[in-house]
Amino acid sequence: MGALMFAGAMDKFVRIYSGGELVKGPNGVEFGDLSEQGIWFKAAPTYSELIDAVYKKLGLEPATHNVRAQGRTNVGGGAHRHFIMVPIDDDMSWSNYVKAVFNGTDWNCLEVYVQTEELPSAEPVSPEPALLDSEPLDAQHQNTPPRDPELGASLFAPSMVTANAPTVHPQHSWLRRIRSARARAGIRGQVAGEEVQSGQYQCGASGTVDTTSCLLIGLYDEVHRARALAAGQHLTELNPRNREPLRFDKRYERYLRPAGLMGLANICRAGLPSIDRALVSALVDRWRPETHTFHMPCGEITITLQDVAMILGLPISGHAVIVNKTESYIELYQRYLGKAPPSDKSRPGLRVAWVRAEFNKCPEDADEETVKQHARAYILSLVGGLLFPDASGDRYTVYPFPLIADLENIGSYSWGSATLAYLYRAMCDACRRQSDQSNLTGCLLLLQFWSWERFPIGRPDMLKPKFPNVDELEDDRDRPTVGLRWVVGACTYRSAPARCYEHFTNEFDLLTDDQVVWSPYRDDRVKTLHLAPICTQDSHLWLTQAPLVFFFMVEVYTPERVMRQFGLHQECPPPFRDTSVELHWCCRGKVRSDWADKHKSFVDMWEVKEQHVIMEERPYDHANYMDYLRWYRRSTRIRLCTPRISNGHQDGASVRTATADDEDSLRASKLRYTPRAHLIHSVTDKLTILAKEAASQKGCSRGECSAFIERVTRTCVELVGELGGSSLCDIAAAVPDSTTIAAEQGSEGQRDTEDELNNSMVPDQENESGPVREKRTRFQVDRTQVDSTVHSRSPSKRRRGGPAPR
């Protein structure tokens, strides 16, 4: 009663922080030196009452200023506190924030951080609408949860909006923030063109990148590895965590087949490949927790339930992998393993060394009960070592053990969806780790096989696989899965170039649409594999939008964003479903054992997963996908590589110093791979600028044409120099330097001026700015002299395959 009275009083008091930026402290977000003011209400305020009080407290008017609010809440467990910020932009999000503060936490205080921004004037901004306003109607409403076509309601039903199951917050504030920021900056239409003209692609990697206008980049970007790489920061590879299973025994097959784990066991028996840490690290760099997809230059792509079933042969149908623990793990070990490990309360989990010592080999004369005990230990090593590996590296995850213990019903659970949920959460965590020796968990075997199936980057050369003869198999469930083809036969890694993290990062930066295997499981590709029935038996669930559940983890599954992977029509833009900051912060802790109750609303959604399947029959259309790509490329960051060496080209010459030469030589001596992505980005951007300028030169004056020819020539010289071309000396002389232009402009300037006066299309130079007029005068050079200079050099052009002239 006292706690309720306390909460009833404190929900009428709100602390308001403003006038600066938030800071990151040892316990998460802190307010630092922000101005603090308290507001008392007569009753618990609504969202509108809160905002009105903030306007009044800060002395602002809604007509002139916009206020954005975020609430600070504690997501830590027990004595450990960790504070995060959650957006507050409507009554729903405010109500859920209040419930989160006063339910199950000892930090009972409403703390709201507000940011104010001045609204633009009411006069028209531009005859051309801004980027967001020019989007289709669906694009402007993409941040709302998708509707179920049958029920006509949001997939995240109102019953889910409880303190135990955090709601999905609509994020329309992102749209308001983007429009306001652009209006203040004076951006007027032609957004993409202006960014390319300035050499700064919107979400590229040219210095410090402003991603406030990137719709698909959200609250996680501040500490995201992609942001650090794009800013030129050096990161190291992630440290993968996985464990090989125990020794296989043929007597285990009678328990593995009904469990749906025979495909995974066959892969392990054939020999697991080592995890390529450079490859998986480069993939995680491109993982976005906001969408649960990899953001590649050619579009979004992700690991789906189809991939899990085809590669590992895990069941998708079945109950969610979650249960309330009713007895201690020690009691479970004693009952179902026949023995319990020594008491160890330092960390949760079962020690790998103890399990191997006790259950690695089943005795030849073992009775049925002993075989069952060893089979449970083997399944635990499969599940806890490969599918749900522990970050410590020396322990097995024991959450699934109550389900493993019941060998008769183990096959009634959806191990495939749980595996995908665990991998999603592992990548969401790892993509925000920048320190050396950061860990990466999840089913990395699935991640690596999936990458080999989809991308040429890091893929080993494969000879003809040696699959088992299906006619000799005792059971159809023993047939291979797609993943088995990567471990049978001879697979050799390509020897060149060096397999390193920087190499893979560069290659993914240059990935093109035609390099991706979008549909690797077509009938004509897999019909010769004679796959196990489990690979395709749950195909009707591959497009469900039900959440993926694994005990304390709930992850949003977004197949609607990657419909091309299924050969289906891709909506543009895809419907946005919030992956929920609150759910990402929901960790296992040491005190909870009622996860089935806490996540009941999500578990209920999974139980009726058939009702949430996307009903799309339209086939993939390339023209439609190009529309999607145009929207996508201006909505996220697609470039991670930045120049490490500045060539410093100016007027067609390379400016270098002795110090720079020494530094470059030292760096070159340590290179394992020569990065080239930033060079190709630079070339494509500059050629794009020239192409657009060339298209606008129709009907221009003679002086403008001469200036454009000069810009083309100088840009070509600069590009050759940036690419390290040895032919730079052949073409550099074709560009007159400033002294030559100054000597010639006196004799030629008069004729050019007369021509320009007779041409009505040329703007008045008195109305041009100083730099523009100076640039125009500088390029008024006789075309014949430039042509003669180029022709005089033409005999010395290097022939293909011939030596460069000295």
Reply yes or no on whether the pLDDT at 39 is more than 80: yes
Measured CA distances, 261 to 375, 468, 610, 769 (Å): 12, 18, 23, 72
Q: Tokens representing 698? A: 């129709």
Q: According to the model, what pLDDT value does residue 313 have?
A: 96
Bridge-based pairing of strands 439-440 and 461-462 is unpaired
Taking residues 61-74, report their average pLDDT.
87
Reply yes or no on whether the pLDDT at 160 is more than 80: no
Cα gap 801→253, rounded to integer Å: 62
Cα gap 114→59, rounded to integer Å: 13
Reply yes or no on whether the pLDDT at 676 is more than 70: no
Cα gap 18→31, rounded to integer Å: 9
Which range (9-23, 27-41, 81-95, 506-520) has the least confidence? 81-95
Taking residues 597-619, report their average pLDDT.
93
Q: According to the model, what pLDDT value does residue 493 have?
A: 59
Cα gap 567→577, rounded to integer Å: 22
Q: According to the model, what pLDDT value does residue 182 have?
A: 36
The answer to whether the beta carbons of residues 447 and 283 sit under 8 Å apart is yes
Bridge-based pairing of strands 395-396 and 350-351 is antiparallel
Q: According to the model, what pLDDT value does residue 722 have?
A: 60
Evaluate the CA torsion angle 407, 413, 418, 419 in order and state its sign.
positive
The answer to whether the beta carbons of residues 296 and 514 sit under 8 Å apart is no
Reply yes or no on whether the pLDDT at 488 is more than 60: yes
Cα gap 319→305, rounded to integer Å: 15
The answer to whether the beta carbons of residues 235 and 438 sit under 8 Å apart is no
Q: According to the model, what pLDDT value does residue 570 have?
A: 94
Taking residues 670-684, report their average pLDDT.
61
pLDDT in tens, 262-288: 999 999 998 898 899 999 999 999 999
- Using pLDDT thresholds of 50, 70 and 90, give the confidence band for residue 697: low
What's the half-sphere exposure (Cβ side, CA atoms, 13 Å) at 494? 12
- Using pLDDT thresholds of 50, 70 and 90, give the confidence band for residue 105: low
Taking residues 74-97, report their average pLDDT.
76
Taking residues 344-354, report their average pLDDT.
81
- 482 against 197, higher pLDDT: 482
Taking residues 707-727, report their average pLDDT.
67
- Using pLDDT thresholds of 50, 70 and 90, give the confidence band for residue 698: low
Which range (384-398, 411-425, 505-519, 688-702) has the least confidence? 688-702
Bridge-based pairing of strands 110-118 and 13-18 is parallel
Which range (62-66, 125-129, 607-611) has the least confidence? 125-129
Per the omega criterion (within 30 degrees of 0), is the bond before 736 cis?
no
Cα gap 140→175, rounded to integer Å: 8
pLDDT in tens, 293-343: 999 999 999 999 999 999 999 999 999 999 988 888 889 999 999 999 887
- 775 against 284, higher pLDDT: 284
Please state, rounded to an integer, the average pLDDT across all residues of the chain: 74
* 554 beta partners: 549
Give me the torsion for CA of 394, 400, 404, 405, rounded to 10°. 90
Q: According to the model, what pLDDT value does residue 410 have?
A: 94
Q: According to the model, what pLDDT value does residue 711 have?
A: 80
Residue type, 604: D
The answer to whether the beta carbons of residues 73 and 101 sit under 8 Å apart is yes
pLDDT in tens, 241-252: 888 899 999 999
Cα gap 360→369, rounded to integer Å: 16
Which range (292-306, 375-389, 670-684, 781-795) has the least confidence? 781-795
- 173 against 223, higher pLDDT: 223
- Using pLDDT thresholds of 50, 70 and 90, give the confidence band for residue 674: low
Taking residues 549-557, report their average pLDDT.
94
- 8 against 353, higher pLDDT: 353
- Using pLDDT thresholds of 50, 70 and 90, give the confidence band for residue 32: confident
Reply yes or no on whether the pLDDT at 46 is more than 50: yes
- 111 against 96, higher pLDDT: 111
Cα gap 277→299, rounded to integer Å: 24
Bridge-based pairing of strands 439-440 and 239-240 is parallel
Reply yes or no on whether the pLDDT at 365 is more than 90: yes
- Residues in CB range of 436: below 8 A, 6 or more apart: 236
The answer to whether the beta carbons of residues 580 and 643 sit under 8 Å apart is no
pLDDT in tens, 171-181: 333 334 333 43
- Using pLDDT thresholds of 50, 70 and 90, give the confidence band for residue 80: low
- Phi, psi of 319, deg, nearest 5: -75, 160
pLDDT in tens, 516-552: 999 999 887 777 788 999 999 999 999 999 999 999 9
- Using pLDDT thresholds of 50, 70 and 90, give the confidence band for residue 412: very high
DSSP-based three-state secondary structure for 713: helix
Which range (292-306, 338-352, 486-500) has the least confidence? 486-500
Within its chain, how far is the Cα of 98 from the centroid? 30
Bridge-based pairing of strands 548-550 and 23-25 is unpaired
DSSP-based three-state secondary structure for 72: strand
- Hey, which of 60-69, 292-301, 478-487, 718-727 has the most confident mean pLDDT? 292-301
Q: According to the model, what pLDDT value does residue 83 have?
A: 81
Reply yes or no on whether the pLDDT at 49 is more than 70: yes
Which range (19-23, 227-231, 389-393, 426-430) has the least confidence? 389-393
Which range (156-165, 375-384, 564-573) has the least confidence? 156-165
What's the half-sphere exposure (Cβ side, CA atoms, 13 Å) at 751? 9
- Using pLDDT thresholds of 50, 70 and 90, give the confidence band for residue 393: confident
Measured CA distances, 19 to 32, 58, 94, 255 (Å): 11, 10, 22, 63
**593, burial (CB in 10 Å: exposed 0-12, middle 13-18, buried 19+):** middle
Q: According to the model, what pLDDT value does residue 560 have?
A: 96
Which range (42-56, 122-136, 578-592, 619-633) has the least confidence? 122-136
Cα gap 503→500, rounded to integer Å: 5
The answer to whether the beta carbons of residues 789 and 734 sit under 8 Å apart is yes
Reply yes or no on whether the pLDDT at 474 is more than 80: no
- 517 against 76, higher pLDDT: 517
Reply yes or no on whether the pLDDT at 564 is more than 80: yes
